[in-house]
Amino acid sequence: MSRTDAVTRILFEAFPTAEVRLFYALGYTAIGIFCWGVYVQIRKYRRGTALALEGSLWSRAGGMVAQVFSHRTVNRRDHAAGGAHRLIFYGFVLLFLGTATITLQYDILEPLFGIRFWQGEFYLIFSLVLDIAGIALLVGLVYMMYRRGWLKLPKLDYARTDRALGDPDFLRPEYRREDWAFLWTLVIIGCTGFLLEAARLVWLHARPDVWDTRWWSPVGAAVAQALEAVGLTAHGGAVLRLSLWWFHGLLALTFIALIPFTKVKHIFTSAASLMVRDPKAAQRLTRIPATQETPGVAKITDFTWKQLLNLDACTKCGRCHEACPARAVGAPLSPRDVILSLREFANAALESGSLPPAAELGVHGKSPGQVSMETLWSCRTCMACVEICPVAVEHVPIIVQMRRKLVEDGDMDPLLTKTLQTIHKTGNSFGESKRKRGSWTKSLPFKVKDARKEPVDLLWFVGDYASFDPRNQKVTQIFATLLHEAGVDFGILYDGESNAGNDVRRVGEEGLYEVLAESNIASLAAATFKSIVTTDPHSYNTILNEYPDFGGKYPIQHYTSLLKQLFMDGNLKVTRPLALKTTFHDPCHLGRFNKGYEAPREVLRLLGCQLIDMKRCRDNSFCCGAGGGRIWIPDPVGSEKPAQNRMREAAAIPGLEVYVVSCPKDLTMFEDALKTTGNEGKFVVKELIELVREAVSAPEIPAVPA
């Protein structure tokens, strides 16, 4: 037998049996505490309402494993944190697998079946891998300490935007303490691990199979050399090893026992959250179940078990806090704080043996753990938070469901109340008569078909702003003309069209949304067409993702895709290429919501424009601030608006000539912000349709008169 065959580490070497038993007893106790903790958490989730998940559990599990192991979500938009966490993750996983492997042999395979594999070459490679894992873990941890302690990143500042200095939960120092405790515990476990390895080597220096193979544990070996260099003897090594062993072991067991009670539980809760995620969480909101008495969420137990799990998955990484446009302009909303408040509330209310009385479970208000009206109404439902969250927390549905209760109680800004009443009465947010919906068509030299009366190929769902707002009406007329010139057989619903309801739903007026959806679906059902096109991304989102729940499933595209197609097919030709320096603002409901980033960029390229993207583009596009019903809620006097913030970002592009939008609300918000930020004259805001008009000259043959 070669010497390397027998190389292994004897567990519990030189331990009296009593000590071994003690360790096992402590181990089982730790596991017991861990299991109790897990039970308390699961009991908490089960106190939420029921929810059935779509799709098979296996595919979800597979997807989760892929996401966790690739660490794609942790790496997005923060490669430093992504890299460091990868090191920590792989280090930790490998070390855990290492311990599991040892346990497998030592406690199961060897005593039961006499199988030994943890020896020889396997053992040596194992040792090397684990040393590297340990280094990786420590490097990652030290970087994280540097991030928190020295870089002091704003997103890791836990001061709340919706509380003031002096409020009990304003600064939350207990979060910082827990973060540092977590980091230090792991660092100490790691370091003592290496020290322990080194001490053992010094202790067993005399054994050739240990000492001669020591460089397979390079860190341990290096530290052992250093220890010997300062005079540690073999006996000293033995003492050091024994004391470190217990210290390291107890610390590790305590760590394990406390997992479900501390931030460490994110190991499980984050993975579970990723497994139960709904990729369309913000794009497709859920109906109020028929069994539910009061709409929306009033008590903590009105949340689903999945939402309660989401609350626990949050690791306070602060990316949603950073991405939120409301937070960026100083509104009292941080998605992170909504989740953390509710988490604190859930932990306080749902972790004891019996459930507190209903009166104590209300989550609306200003006490610690509650979420205030002002916070909920600040949200633009732009889903920047949901999009970037590495652990799949779904903030937007939580906020909307809490808004449903506010709406039911009438706790809204008076202007919003009035707008909802207006929409109910007239089907549009402008209060105009339904008959005027098609009045933008009157000044056109051709007749726009009435899709209620005759079949059309393409049904154009125009939308409120495009139909009634004077500035947007110009764009609508141009689009109609372009379609006409391209020979597209299209029509509109005229009075049969109402507000699509996307924003009404996100305000939380679910009853009114149902009325609007049902009315539009009835109009669509009575018309004959092949597909729908819309110039309004909000309408696009709700018709595409939410109308099917109400019985209306239609093929629909946003106009940018249609225009691209028309150019590709040659129905529209660029006759005057525009050599303009442009930037494109991805509208939330087209871009981030439905991944529609490419078509508008293609069109700009075809037009001959030079496109310079802003830093916050595509999935990180910065909302204009009009979503979530905010266009119907006045902004506080004196504060910056998200659109102004965005304009300043655009103004930093040298030589910018055109800021291109493809959404009616964006056009309104940004033209206004252009003026109020003092950028008028420096560049212009234009709809993509307007640029297309400039690049495509009208055909020689005049349009056929009506």
Please give the residue ranges that form the binding site for another protein (CB under 8 A). Answer: 288, 295, 407-408, 410, 412, 414-415, 417, 420-421, 424-425, 433, 435-436, 470, 509-512, 514-515, 634-638, 675
Neighbours of 434 (CB within 10 A): 15
266-275 vs 305-313: helix crossing angle, rounded to 10: 130
Residue nearer to another protein on the CB measure, 470 or 705: 470
For residue 491, the surrounding DSSP H or E stretch is strand 490-492
Least separation, in Å, of the C-beta of 97 and another protein? Answer: 53
What does the block give as tokens for 509? 């007026």
Task: Tell me the CB-side half-sphere exposure of residue 160, using CA atoms within 13 A.
Answer: 29
Residue nearer to another protein on the CB measure, 637 or 706: 637
Least separation, in Å, of the C-beta of 37 and another protein? Answer: 40
Let me know: does 221 contact 135? Beta carbons within 8 Å: no
Least separation, in Å, of the C-beta of 512 and another protein? Answer: 4
Least separation, in Å, of the C-beta of 291 and another protein? Answer: 14
Residue nearer to another protein on the CB measure, 411 or 649: 411
Residue nearer to another protein on the CB measure, 85 or 630: 630
Least separation, in Å, of the C-beta of 506 and another protein? Answer: 15
What does the block give as tokens for 149? 């302690």
Least separation, in Å, of the C-beta of 624 and another protein? Answer: 16
Query: At 469, is the secondary structure helix, strand, or coil?
Result: coil
Task: Give the number of residues written for the chain.
Answer: 706
Report how far residue 359's alpha carbon sits from residue 621's, in angstroms, rounded to the nearest whole number: 41
Least separation, in Å, of the C-beta of 412 and another protein? Answer: 7
Burial status of residue 700 (CB atoms within 10 A of its CB: 0-12, 13-18, 19 or more): exposed
Residue nearer to another protein on the CB measure, 425 or 530: 425
Least separation, in Å, of the C-beta of 405 and another protein? Answer: 10
Least separation, in Å, of the C-beta of 410 and another protein? Answer: 4
Report how far residue 268's alpha carbon sits from residue 328's, in angstroms, rounded to the nearest whole number: 31
Least separation, in Å, of the C-beta of 513 and another protein? Answer: 8
DSSP state of 371: B
What does the block give as tokens for 29? 């106790």
DSSP percent split of the chain into helix, strand, coil, nearest 5: 60, 5, 35
Residue nearer to another protein on the CB measure, 421 or 575: 421
Q: Where are the alpha helices (DSSP H) in 378-469?
A: 384-388, 395-409, 414-426, 464-468
Measured CA to CA in angstroms, residue 641 lies from 172, 482, 623, 630, 672 at distances of: 28, 34, 10, 11, 11
Report which residue type is found at 587.
P
Residue nearer to another protein on the CB measure, 208 or 634: 634
Let me know: does 476 contact 462? Beta carbons within 8 Å: yes
Report how far residue 390's alpha carbon sits from residue 328's, in angstroms, rounded to the nearest whole number: 20
- Rounded to a whole number of angstroms, the distance between the first and last alpha carbons of the chain is 99
Report how far residue 207's alpha carbon sits from residue 228's, in angstroms, rounded to the nearest whole number: 15
Q: Where are the beta strands (DSSP E) in 546-622?
A: 556-558, 581-584, 610-611
Residue nearer to another protein on the CB measure, 582 or 677: 677
Per DSSP, the residues of 434-451 read GGGGGGGGTTSSSPPEET
What does the block give as tokens for 696? 């495509």
Neighbours of 398 (CB within 10 A): 26
Residue nearer to another protein on the CB measure, 110 or 432: 432
Residue nearer to another protein on the CB measure, 299 or 436: 436
Least separation, in Å, of the C-beta of 436 and another protein? Answer: 6
Residue nearer to another protein on the CB measure, 110 or 635: 635
Residue nearer to another protein on the CB measure, 620 or 668: 668
Least separation, in Å, of the C-beta of 439 and another protein? Answer: 9
